[in-house]
Structure 1
Amino acid sequence: MGNGMMCCGVLGCIDQASVGVVEKWGRFDRLASPGFHFFNPLAGEWLAGLLSTRISSLDVRIETKTKDNVFVQLLCSIQYRVVKENADDAFYELQNPKEQIQAYVFDVVRAHVPKMTLDELFEQKNDVAKAVSEELEKVMGAYGYNIEHILMVDIIPDQSVRKAMNEINAAQRLQLASVYKGEAEKVLLVKRAEAEAEAKYLGGVGVARQRQAITDGLRENILNFSHKVEGTSAKEVMDLIMITQYFDTIKDLGNSSKNTTVFIPHGPGHVRDIGDQIRNGLMEASSAHTD
């Protein structure tokens, strides 16, 4: 009678989530719902069997080939249950429902997958599951079974194919990384060149301003000295300033604590040459400032 029933003479108890099939004189009579039942054996009644109405799960592994000649294994999970109202069909029509479901799954999957490439199969696996569900619902519904869910759990290509796919993916990612790295280095070089150009420009501006400040200071000193001391020319004042600056430089070198010997050309002619160079620079700076 099955695990869901306890017999005591003509009394029977059917547990929850089960349905009983009652026969009378060897022919189907009625379905017995969960609970306590009385069967009259004198009238030919007896409980022929029990069917569980719980959801059952069946995992089917199918090996097939894709359109691009890649052998794959698909793991399909089918969840089904017996329809209470049609439990007699499920009891009498099918001897082994799992084998029947598995056969239809094989048929549908091997009809659809060879029309797809491997990439399309991964992208459209839900379409394959939907096709299997529609076929099973149409066929198994006539036998008193309802297909609850169908899941395409896994798609497993051949090991060599998986290795090749991983290598292709890794190569593509390395190529993309190289492109990004090259772009980053390009940006870095451009920014470094721009920074160097800006630094040189600012350095030139600073040197120009420094020289302009020196020129302005010398001009102001010469003019002040010429106005305060009568009978002096700008050239004489300039020579005096140059000589003073020259001796101040020698003094600073002599007071330096570093043990370094510096040879400086010394002589009246050299001082005159320095004065001429500074005067020429002063005149050029004044001319440029006027322009």
Structure 2
Amino acid sequence: MLEITGALFLIVLGYIIGSVRIVEQGDQAIVQRLGQFKRILNPGLNFVIPLMDTVLIETIREQLLDIEPQRAFTKDNVPIEVDAVVSWQILDLRKAYYAVEDLEESLKQIVISTMRNEIGQLTLEETFSSAGAINQALLRQLDKSTANWGVKVIRVEVQEFQISPSLRESLEKERAARSEKQAELTRTQGTVQSIQQLAQALQGQMNADDVLRYLVAKDYVTASMELGRSDNSKIVFMDPRALNEAVTDLMGHAEVIQPRDRGNIDGNGDA
């Protein structure tokens, strides 16, 4: 009799222990009875029927899904690699468990597909400046696709765009060339503006031609001194007559101003 009582006691004790399920804060659990959905267990102490009920515990905390670098092609057919991080959370455990077979993999495939589609509509230059727009497009598409999955995508962040080293070097050279061209254009515009201002200032001046010749000669001497400082400098001379003619042409005169007599240096005159 005592043996039977002891056995019954152990059975009852085992049943009680087996029926207890403790769900931690931040988690929920699905109870399936004989393979069918029965109910949801919330955090705290819960009881189920041993041997008949199966308990599947899932977190309802915010989760991060890391998307490894994926190859995509821009609108101008440049290969680029991009990765992203998705922050998401289960709102309805029953839908999340039964609506889609592999929730995380499904989220991942949507992110990859949307990233490639968005990048394919942008040029390489636009891609690097449109990370925020791509994030918003990803978020809209995920919200649309997961509307019946019982989950909420909180945010999506594209982490980094990567291109091959050879392409990066080529782009840097092109950018440097554009910068130099812009700088040269700026200098040219400044020179043109200075000439225009000088021409306006000299209008009506009696000694305008003398002033202009002085300025040109001064710049010629300065340029020659700069050339002389260079390690591989070459001596450059300009015929004074040609310089005088250039100045006269700039002033708009038809007459060429002759330089001073240099004393028959060609040997045809008197000593």
Q: In the TM superposition, what are the counterparts of 1:141-290 in structure 2 within 5 Å?
A: 141-174=147-180
Residue 49 of structure 2 is aligned to residue 69 of structure 1: no
- The answer (yes or no) to whether the contact 1:51–1:91 under 8 Å persists in 2 is no
**Mapped contact 1:70–1:158 kept (Cα < 8 A):** no
Q: CA deviation at 1:158?
A: 2.4
1:225-245 deviation line (CA, Å, top 9, x unaligned): xxxxxxxxxxxxxxxxxxxxx
Equivalent residue of 1:9, what SS? helix
Secondary structure, counterpart of 1:29 in structure 2 = strand
Between the aligned partners of 1:46 and 1:70, the Cα distance in structure 2 is 52
- Which of residues 28, 33, 56 is equivalent to 2:37? 28
The residue aligned with 1:250 is none
TM-fit CA distance, 1:119: 1.0
Which secondary structure does the structure 2 equivalent of 1:141 belong to?
A: coil
Query: Residue 78 of structure 1: which of 82, 86, 109 is its match?
Result: 86
Preserved CA contact (<8 Å) 2:71 2:81: yes
Structure 2: where are the runs of 5+ without partners?
A: 1-15, 195-271
Partner of residue 129, structure 2: 123
Query: Which residue in the other structure is 2:267 paired with?
Result: none
The letter of the residue matching 1:91 is Y
**SS across alignment from 2:77:** coil
The corresponding residue for 2:140 is 134
Kindly provide the amino acid, as one letter, of the partner of residue 39 in structure 2: R
Q: d(CA) in 2 for partners of 1:161 and 1:82?
A: 42
Q: Quote the offset at 1:30 in angstroms.
A: 1.1
Q: What corresponds to 1:50 in structure 2?
A: 57
Query: Match for 1:35: what amino acid?
Result: G
Amino acid of the structure 2 residue aligned with 1:130: Q
The answer as to whether partners of 2:29 and 2:57 remain within 8 angstroms in 1 is yes
- Looking at structure 2, the residues matched to 35 and 134 of structure 1 have their Cα atoms a distance apart, in angstroms, of 35
Q: Distance in 2 between matches of 1:117 and 1:181?
A: 31
- Paired position in structure 2 for 1:99: 105
Aligned-pair CA distance for 1:14: 0.6
Deviation at 1:125, TM superposition (A): 2.2
Determine the C-alpha separation between the residues in 1 that align with 2:136 and 2:160: 15
Aligned mates of 1:177, 1:8 — CA distance in 2: 81
User: For 1:102 and 1:181, how far apart are their aligned partners in 2?
Assistant: 52
Deviation at 1:173, TM superposition (A): 4.0
The structure having more radius of gyration, on CA atoms, is: 1
Q: 1:181 to 1:123 in 2, by over 3 A?
A: same
SS in 2 for 1:8: helix
Give the C-alpha shift of residue 77 in structure 1. Answer: 1.3
Alignment partners' CA distance in 2, 1:179 and 1:110: 39
Deviations 1:220-265 (A, max 9, x none): xxxxxxxxxxxxxxxxxxxxxxxxxxxxxxxxxxxxxxxxxxxxxx
Q: Please give the alpha-carbon distance, in whole angstroms, between the structure 1 residues aligned to 2:41 and 2:89.
A: 17
- Listed as ranges, the gaps of 5+ residues in structure 1 are 1-6, 188-291
Structure 1: distance between partners of 2:138 and 2:105? 15
* Equivalent pair of 2:99/2:148 in contact (CA under 8 Å): no
Query: Which amino acid is 1:115 matched to?
Result: Q
1:80 and 1:71 mapped to 2: Cα distance?
Answer: 29
Identity of aligned pairs, percent? 21
Counterparts of 1:29 and 1:167 in 2: how far apart (Å)?
A: 66
Richer in helix (by share): 1
Aligned to 1:286: none
Pairwise CA RMSD: 2.9
Distance in 1 (CA, whole Å) between partners of 2:47 and 2:181 is 78
* Residue of structure 1 equivalent to 2:269: none
Contact kept, 8 Å, 1:94 with 1:143, in 2: the verdict is yes
Give the structure-1-normalised TM-score.
Answer: 0.54
